[in-house]
Structure 1
Amino acid sequence: MLGDPLTLPCGATLPNRIAKAAMTEGMATPDGRPTPELERLYGIWSDGGAGLLLTGNIIVDKDHLERPGNVVIDREPDADMAARLKSWAEAGTRGGNHLWAQISHGGRQTQKLVNPHPKSSSDVALSLPGGQFGKPTPLTKDEIADLVRRWAVASKACMDAGFTGVQVHAAHGYLVSQFLSPRVNRRDDEYGGSLENRARFLLEIVRAVREAVGPQFPISVKLNSADFQKGGFAFEDSLQVVEWLEEASVDLIEISGGTYEQPKLMGVEGMEAEEKQNVAPSTAAREAYFVDFAKAMQDEVGVPLMVTGGFRTRAAIQQALDIGAADVIGLGRPLCVLPDAPRQLLEGREALPRYEDGLDLIPDWLGFLKRLQMMKAINGFAGIYWFYQQLWLLGHEGRVDEHFPVFKAFRLVDARNKSIMKARG
Structure 2
Amino acid sequence: MTVAETLGQSLNLPNGVVLPNRLAKSAMSETMGTISNRVTPALATLYGAWADGGTGLLITGNVMVDRRHIGEPKNVVLDDDRDMAALKAWAQAGKRNGNHIWMQLNHPGKQSPKMLNKAPVAPSAVPFRKDMRAMFATPREMNEQEIRDTIHRFARSASLAEQAGFQGVQIHGAHGYLVSQFLSPHHNRRNDSWGGSAENRMRFVLEVYRAIRGATSEGFCVGIKLNSADFQRGGFTEEESLAVIEQLAKEGIDLVEISGGNYENPAMAGAAGVKASTAAREAYFLEFAEKVREKVSVPLMVTGGFRTSEGMAEAVASGATDLVGIARPLAVEPDLSARILAGESVTSAVKPIKTGIRMIDDMALMEVSWYTHQLGRIGKGKRPKKHDDGVMPLLEVLAVMATRGVWNRLRAGE
Compute the TM-score of the two structures, normalised by the length of structure 2.
0.93
Which residue of the other structure, out of 48, 57, 64, is the alignment partner of 1:59?
64
Distance (whole Å) between structure 2 residues aligned to residue 375 and residue 163 of structure 1: 35
Q: Which residue of 2 aligns with 1:49?
A: 54
Q: Which residue of 2 aligns with 1:317?
A: 312
Can you give the 5+ residue segments of structure 2 that lack an aligned partner in the other structure?
1-5
SS in 2 for 1:19: strand
CA drift of 1:43 comes to: 0.8
CA drift of 1:215 comes to: 2.2
Can you give the 5+ residue segments of structure 1 that lack an aligned partner in the other structure?
363-368
The one-letter code sitting in structure 1 at the alignment partner of 2:181 is Q
Distance (whole Å) between structure 1 residues aligned to residue 219 and residue 280 of structure 2: 35
- Say what the alpha-carbon RMSD is for the aligned residues: 1.9
Q: Contact 1:284/1:319 (CA < 8 Å) preserved in 2?
A: no
Q: Which residue of 1 aligns with 2:3?
A: none
SS in 2 for 1:72: coil
Q: Which residue of 1 aligns with 2:261?
A: 258
Q: Contact 2:115/2:401 (CA < 8 Å) preserved in 1?
A: no
Q: Contact 2:115/2:404 (CA < 8 Å) preserved in 1?
A: no
SS in 2 for 1:221: strand
Q: Which residue of 2 aligns with 1:218?
A: 221
SS in 2 for 1:199: helix
Would you say 1:411 and 2:414 are equivalent positions?
A: no
CA drift of 1:353 comes to: 2.6
Which residue of the other structure, out of 28, 36, 46, is the alignment partner of 1:31?
36
Q: Contact 1:40/1:398 (CA < 8 Å) preserved in 2?
A: no
Which residue of the other structure, out of 384, 398, 404, is the alignment partner of 2:368?
384
Which residue of the other structure, out of 165, 168, 188, is the alignment partner of 1:162?
165
Which residue of the other structure, out of 345, 351, 365, is the alignment partner of 2:340?
345
Distance (whole Å) between structure 2 residues aligned to residue 195 and residue 337 of structure 1: 40
SS in 1 for 2:256: strand
Distance (whole Å) between structure 2 residues aligned to residue 315 and residue 110 of structure 1: 38
CA drift of 1:128 comes to: 5.2
Q: Contact 2:329/2:348 (CA < 8 Å) preserved in 1?
A: yes
The one-letter code sitting in structure 1 at the alignment partner of 2:369 is Y
Q: Contact 1:58/1:71 (CA < 8 Å) preserved in 2?
A: yes
Q: Contact 2:354/2:361 (CA < 8 Å) preserved in 1?
A: no
Distance (whole Å) between structure 2 residues aligned to residue 10 and residue 329 of structure 1: 20
Q: Contact 2:228/2:241 (CA < 8 Å) preserved in 1?
A: yes
CA drift of 1:417 comes to: 2.7
Q: Contact 1:26/1:69 (CA < 8 Å) preserved in 2?
A: yes
The one-letter code sitting in structure 1 at the alignment partner of 2:104 is Q
Q: Which residue of 2 aligns with 1:296?
A: 291
Q: Which residue of 1 aligns with 2:45?
A: 40
Counting only pairs closer than 5 Å after superposition, residues 20-419 of structure 1 correspond to structure 2 as 20-74=25-79, 76-78=80-82, 81-127=83-129, 129-130=131-132, 131-267=134-270, 285-357=280-352, 359-362=353-356, 374=359, 376-378=361-363, 380-419=364-403
The one-letter code sitting in structure 1 at the alignment partner of 2:247 is W
Q: Contact 2:271/2:305 (CA < 8 Å) preserved in 1?
A: no
The one-letter code sitting in structure 2 at the alignment partner of 1:57 is N
- After TM superposition, the structure 1 stretch with the greater mean CA deviation from structure 2, 60-69 or 136-145, is 60-69
The one-letter code sitting in structure 1 at the alignment partner of 2:218 is P
CA drift of 1:399 comes to: 1.8
SS in 1 for 2:225: strand
CA drift of 1:125 comes to: 1.1
The one-letter code sitting in structure 2 at the alignment partner of 1:314 is S
The Cα offsets for residues 256-278 of structure 1, whole Å up to 9 and x where unpaired, read as 00000110000176xxxx9x9xx
Distance (whole Å) between structure 2 residues aligned to residue 73 and residue 128 of structure 1: 33
The one-letter code sitting in structure 1 at the alignment partner of 2:81 is P
Distance (whole Å) between structure 2 residues aligned to residue 207 and residue 91 of structure 1: 29
Would you say 1:2 and 2:2 are equivalent positions?
A: no
Aligned length: 403
Q: Contact 2:170/2:225 (CA < 8 Å) preserved in 1?
A: yes
The one-letter code sitting in structure 1 at the alignment partner of 2:44 is E
CA drift of 1:344 comes to: 1.1
CA drift of 1:184 comes to: 0.8
Q: Contact 1:290/1:309 (CA < 8 Å) preserved in 2?
A: yes
The Cα offsets for residues 389-409 of structure 1, whole Å up to 9 and x where unpaired, read as 111111124221234311111
SS in 2 for 1:253: strand
CA drift of 1:139 comes to: 0.7
